[in-house]
Structure 1
Amino acid sequence: MALNNAPDLTQRPPRSARVRLGGYVILPRMLDKGRAAIAKKNGEYNYACPMDERLLDFVGIDAKALHKQLAAGKGDVEILEWINKNAKFKRTLVEVHVWSSLAEQRVPTDVETREFFNGLHAKVAPKREDIATWFDLLDVDDYASFGGKV
């Protein structure tokens, strides 16, 4: 299915996980990945990855149900309205803000994920000392993956 609003993630990265929609971090990035996957232009990006699942679990939305809404060609505002209407958990703005703030600060917590994190960090930005959170790592990886010099 061809979507008019599907980004080509073989040419540029999705929006940063820091970008918010309705107060939710991750959501715009997840929508970019979902639309690109439908258009078969997702490159190495995966819709409903573990980070996306954290958001989906927080609001109580099924990834497949959201995928159907994306396939229907709905824009960001329409998707946000659909989420607010269909979410299992009706979150307040304060809850969304707190959750998003905590998500922005997430760091690897166990040995295995720290090894993965440190390995990717060493590969894409070995001299950067400011890469501490998952969002930091995603942003620098996206930048480096599309030719940015780190």
Structure 2
Amino acid sequence: MTTTHSPIDLTQRPPRSPRLKLGGFVFLPRLLDKARAAHADKLGEYRFNGRGMDRHFFNFTGLDHEALRAEVAKGGGDGELLAWVHAHSKHARTPWEIMSWSEYMTHRTPDSDAETLADFAAHVAEFSKTREDISTWFDLIDLDDHCTFGGLA
């Protein structure tokens, strides 16, 4: 049974938080929102290209972003798309692997090198010079989404 999912207009609101899970995968609901918006030509400032933060999901599952985009274009709901992800992932993942990866992604910080740390700090400073609680990539994404659509830092 295919459930037609209405398009999402990311010029009017942000995609779902990267913290939300579908089938245990963090970031997947956000990817689906961005893929649906891309299909409807309503992506706004967001990107759905298999790079940036998106690449972590695609690397973990072994999926191609264009293949996911083509499946999303068929109009299925989140549950159907989750089943498709499991059926087409090149790297079949156990529930504990998905849980571990999701936990890691939720707490992932920009601690790889000085350039990355400086870039992260500059992005946070675009929204607030006083926030000391923004320490993970998901914190920054949520802050960006909130401020971009009228919220205060």
Common fold: TM-score over 0.5: yes
Q: TM-score, normalised by structure 1?
A: 0.94
Task: Tell me by how many angstroms 1:82 deviates.
Answer: 0.5
Aligned-residue sequence identity (percent) comes to 47
1:39 aligns with 2:40: yes
Q: Is the 8 A contact 1:5 1:75 kept in 2?
A: no
Partner of 2:56: 54
In structure 2, how many angstroms separate the alpha carbons of the residues matched to 1:65 and 1:85?
12
CA 1:149–1:76: 2 relative to 1, 3 Å:
same
Question: Which of 92, 106, 109 lines up with 1:107 in the alignment?
Answer: 109
Partner of 1:17: 18
Gaps of 5+ in 1: none
CA 1:4–1:102: 2 relative to 1, 3 Å:
closer
**Consecutive aligned runs of 4 or more in structure 1 exceeding 6 Å deviation:** none
Q: SS state of the match for residue 101, structure 2?
A: helix
In structure 1, how many angstroms separate the alpha carbons of the residues matched to 2:90 and 2:39?
25
Aligned residues: CA RMSD: 1.2
Residues 40-62 of structure 1: CA deviation (Å, up to 9, x unaligned): 11111001232111111111111
In structure 2, how many angstroms separate the alpha carbons of the residues matched to 1:100 and 1:29?
13
Task: Tell me by how many angstroms 1:112 deviates.
Answer: 2.3
What is the aligned residue count?
A: 148
- Between 1:43-52 and 1:26-35, the stretch displaced more is 43-52
- Between 1:9-18 and 1:110-119, the stretch displaced more is 110-119
Q: Is the 8 A contact 1:125 1:140 kept in 2?
A: no
